[in-house]
Amino acid sequence: MNTKQLRQKILDLAIRGKLVPQDPNDEPASALLERIRANRNVARTSAKTRKIKPDNSDDKSPYRNLPFQAPKGWVWVKIKDVFEINPKNEIADETQVSFIPMTFISEGFANKHIFEIRKWKEVKKGFTHFRNGDVGIAKITPCFENRKSVIFKDLKNNFGAGTTELHILRPKSDEVSNFYLLFFAKTEMFITNGVQQFSGAVGQQRVGKSVIEETYFPLPPLAEQRRIVSVIESAFALIDEIEDGKISLRQIVGQAKAKTLDLAVRGKLAPRPAANCRLKNTKTTADNSPYAFEVPEGWKIVKLENVCNQITDGTHKTPKYTTDGIPFLRVTDITESNDSKKFISEEEHTELIKRCKPEKGNVLLSKNGTIGVAKVVDWEYEFSIFVSLCLLKPKEELNSKYLAYYLGSANALSQMTSRQKTVTITNLHLEEIREIQLPLPPLSEQQLIVARIEAIFARLDAIENELKA
DSSP states of 63-81 as a string?
A: PSS-SSPPPTT-EEEEHHH
Contacts of 52 (CB under 8 A, 6+ apart): 41, 42, 45
Predicted structure pTM score: 0.59
pLDDT score recorded for residue 423: 54
Candidates 258, 280, 274, 271; CA nearest to 440 is 280
Task: Output helix, strand, coil percentages for the chain, rounded to the nearest 5.
Answer: 35, 20, 45
Please state, for a pLDDT cut of 90, what percent of the chain lies above it.
64
Contacts of 23 (CB under 8 A, 6+ apart): 221, 223, 224, 271
Q: List, for residues 13-43, the tens digit of each pLDDT value.
A: 999 998 888 888 999 999 999 998 887 665 5
Q: How confident is the model at residue 292 (pLDDT cuts 50, 70, 90)?
A: low
Q: How confident is the model at residue 53 (pLDDT cuts 50, 70, 90)?
A: very low
For residues 99-115, give the mean pLDDT: 95
Candidates 302, 372, 25, 252; CA nearest to 260 is 252
Q: How confident is the model at residue 280 (pLDDT cuts 50, 70, 90)?
A: very low
Query: DSSP letter at 6?
Result: H
Amino acid, res. 371: I
Q: List, for residues 379-397, the tens digit of each pLDDT value.
A: 999 999 999 999 999 999 9
Q: What pairs with residue 326 in β-bridges? A: 344
Give the C-alpha separation, 71 to 19, whole Å: 12
pLDDT score recorded for residue 72: 92
Residues 218 and 15: beta-carbon distance below 8 Å = yes
Give the C-alpha separation, 106 to 300, whole Å: 49
12 CB-contact burial (10 Å; exposed 0-12 / middle 13-18 / buried 19+): middle
pLDDT score recorded for residue 41: 62
Residues 194 and 144: beta-carbon distance below 8 Å = yes
Q: Which residue has the higher pLDDT, 464 or 376?
A: 376
Residue 47 pLDDT exceeds 80: no
Averaged pLDDT score across all residues of the chain: 86
Residue 279 pLDDT exceeds 90: no
Q: How many CB atoms are located within 10 Å of the residue 414 CB?
A: 13
For residues 214-241, give the mean pLDDT: 92
Residue 146 pLDDT exceeds 50: yes
Domains of the chain plus CATH, in order, are 27-224 (3.90.220.20), 275-440 (3.90.220.20)
Lowest-confidence region among 123-127, 207-211, 297-301, 307-311:
297-301
213 CB-contact burial (10 Å; exposed 0-12 / middle 13-18 / buried 19+): middle
Residue 94 pLDDT exceeds 70: yes
For residues 239-246, give the mean pLDDT: 78
Q: How many CB atoms are located within 10 Å of the residue 320 CB?
A: 8
Q: How confident is the model at residue 276 (pLDDT cuts 50, 70, 90)?
A: very low
Contacts of 337 (CB under 8 A, 6+ apart): none
Contacts of 265 (CB under 8 A, 6+ apart): 405, 406, 409, 411, 412, 439
Q: How confident is the model at residue 278 (pLDDT cuts 50, 70, 90)?
A: very low
Give the C-alpha separation, 154 to 393, whole Å: 58
Q: List, for residues 417-435, the tens digit of each pLDDT value.
A: 887 765 555 788 999 999 9
